[in-house]
Amino acid sequence: MAAYRYHITRMHSLPLDPDKKQKEWKTIQTIAKNNNFPQQLLQKLNRQIQHKVSHKKPEKKDDKIWKMSRVMLKTYRGF
């Protein structure tokens, strides 16, 4: 299941034109069929990932600074 999730997420994240995205989806479906993976589960996973990728909130600049300062603080405390 993790491998299918990875490949579907990759398919939706890469800047592919519609034809290549469709070819990638068919390849994933073929691999799943050859491994007796349920097609309904694969389609559900695709819908969930597609929804998540298309509704992803942009990260605020302040969030990035806070994350970086927390990592730096942890590193500093380690010395």
**Banded pLDDT at 30 (limits 50, 70, 90):** very high
**Domain of residue 39, residue span:** 2-78
Give the number of domains in the chain.
Answer: 1
Q: Report whether pLDDT(60) > 80.
A: no
pTM for the full predicted model: 0.67
Contact 4, 28 (CB under 8 A): yes
Task: Give the pLDDT score at 73.
Answer: 59
What's the rounded Cα separation, in Å, for the pair 32 and 23? 14
**Tally of CA atoms within 13 A in the half-sphere of 45 that contains its CB:** 21
Dihedral, CA of residue 6, residue 27, residue 32 and residue 55, to nearest 10: 40
Query: pLDDT band at 55, cuts 50/70/90?
Result: confident
Inform me whether the pLDDT recorded for 74 exceeds 70: no
